[in-house]
Amino acid sequence: MPGLMQDWPLTLDRFLEHAQRWHGAREVVTRSIEGPIVRSDYATIHRRARQLSQALLEAGIGYEDRVATLGFNTARHLEAWYGIMGIGAVCHTLNPRLPAAQLEYIVNHAADRLLLADPCFAPLVAQLRPRCPSVERVVYLTDAAHLPAGADGPDYEDWIAGRSGECRWGDLPEETAAGLCYTSGTTGDPKGVLYSHRSNYLHTLTAMLPDALNLSSSDSVLAIVPMFHANAWGLAFAVPAVGAKFVLPGARLDGASIFELMETEGVTLSAGVPTVWQGLLQYLDKEKLRPTTLKRIVSGGAACPEALLRAYQEKFGIEVRHAWGMTEMSPLGTVNVPRDLTMPPVAQGRVPFGIDMALADDEGRSVPHDGRTFGHLKVRGCAVARRYFRREQESLLDADGYFDTGDVATIDPGGMMQITDRAKDVIKSGGEWISSIEIENAAVAHPKAALAAVIGVPHVKWGERPLLIVQLKPGESATAQDFLDFLAGRIARWWIPDAVQFVEAIPLGATGKIDKKQLRAALGGG
């Protein structure tokens, strides 16, 4: 017997509808691509998103059509998300940091019909456009005064101007596809993760929980994590849902620019990858500054070194929540909110409601949750992918409905999960596993280290041994023995690297993670 409650489909337009109705005057602040700070609010964002929806419909964009975006975090990009999704089209966020060849493949695989691009990406658009025949129109996310020279499309402001916004909006089946995000293609071609309105809606409710991002209407949220990176960790939905002030940094993510926005906009919460927090910390130390309103940082996308985490907590009293997830998980998986001071601060945390996880050995057998035994990490939940876009015949799930994340982890008796490595990065030495991540976290705590990476290199006797690669802070010098002595006592003796290689710069991938594929190619790791 069905319940007798209202039929209220879980669709994403409801978040912005709620924000404009009940928090309409709450500010949305952007450091614009053109330069100046631009102030808007949720009522304006809602009106303009609907104007964009009307323009899209008049251009022939309809249900399930893919509309690509190539932009940084701005109010116009936020309007684009809701304007696209509100009519049942699919918002396909493109990562401008990917190689042009990968972007070409992604656009063609998705069969994007229209592209909304920041003006700074005009050269990239010019390179892609002749190779992407499905793209019928490019609209630049700017005004007429800043339209790139030779642009082959209109500016956004003129394109949506004069429209009432009165058009079909929302009223969609909740299983309708809403967003499309491709993995970075570190193994094979990039793969498309196709989110539904329902999955992103439920993921948003999970993200707002106290033991997750802990958002409220009293917050001022600076979203440093890009809107083109795994759904911006859900912030583009969760922040309007609670009516918090939204601060969008545009293209300038250096320490000085981030700190300025934090102080002028009273930021209480910010989210980004560890390399951003490392850059901000170096700026604060150099200029002898301290944040005055920032209370919480969410760090994800890569392992957060313990030294970095403790620096924010001990120097400034700022809570750092270490998070983990994947594009295939929408992306939130776990958040480290310690129950007491004995909890490991670098662990990735516990699952919030809506996510389940398990560990298995190489033969698929369950391994104990004792905090010591490594296993392949598997997940399932309401916002976890089951197939990739246009590869629907290939299930991603095992017989129990779990998705193999490709990570190796431990889980302790209290449910605290800690990533020890990617399965492809784990070092197998003498039949035993060595965690490259734990060595990296220990090494980057050295006062002269800016970044550290560890790869396995072939060894005649042991199969593989760890090589430590270090990028020193500007102006610093050190020897290999300095780092080996520093690691002694911090990690198991047999984990101590056989060698240390200093490099001018450790390469980072398109999402800000260390690119170990490049390191292996350059330094003989296979």
**Do residues 258 and 276 touch, judged by C-beta distance below 8 A?**
yes
For residue 93, indicate whether it is catalytic. Answer: no
Name the strand (E) or helix (H) holding 276.
helix 274-287
Q: To 5 degrees, how large is the angle CA 430–CA 433–CA 439?
A: 115
Pick the closest to residue 348 from 438, 432, 260 (CA basis).
438
CA 219 to centroid of chain Cα atoms: 20
**Do residues 107 and 134 touch, judged by C-beta distance below 8 A?**
yes
**Do residues 409 and 417 touch, judged by C-beta distance below 8 A?**
yes
For residue 328, indicate whether it is catalytic. Answer: yes
Sheet holding 499-502, edge to edge: 449-459, 463-472, 499-502
- Between CA 18 and CA 26 the distance in angstroms is 12
Q: Per the residue annotation, which of 93, 183, 275, 420 is the catalytic one?
A: 183
**Do residues 350 and 335 touch, judged by C-beta distance below 8 A?**
yes
**Do residues 47 and 75 touch, judged by C-beta distance below 8 A?**
no
**Do residues 452 and 469 touch, judged by C-beta distance below 8 A?**
yes
Q: Per the residue annotation, which of 392, 432, 433, 494 is the catalytic one?
A: 433
- Between CA 237 and CA 61 the distance in angstroms is 23
418 beta partners: 410
**Do residues 62 and 176 touch, judged by C-beta distance below 8 A?**
no
Q: Per the residue annotation, which of 328, 438, 440, 464 is the catalytic one?
A: 328
CA 193 to centroid of chain Cα atoms: 14
For residue 428, indicate whether it is catalytic. Answer: yes
39 beta partners: 29
Q: Per the residue annotation, which of 286, 428, 476, 494 is the catalytic one?
A: 428
Sheet holding 245-248, edge to edge: 37-41, 27-31, 245-248, 220-223, 269-272, 296-299, 319-325, 332-336
- Between CA 348 and CA 453 the distance in angstroms is 19
- How would you classify residue 193: left for phi > 0, otherwise alpha for psi between -120 and 50, otherwise beta? beta
- Between CA 191 and CA 109 the distance in angstroms is 9
**Catalytic residue IDs:** 183, 328, 428, 433
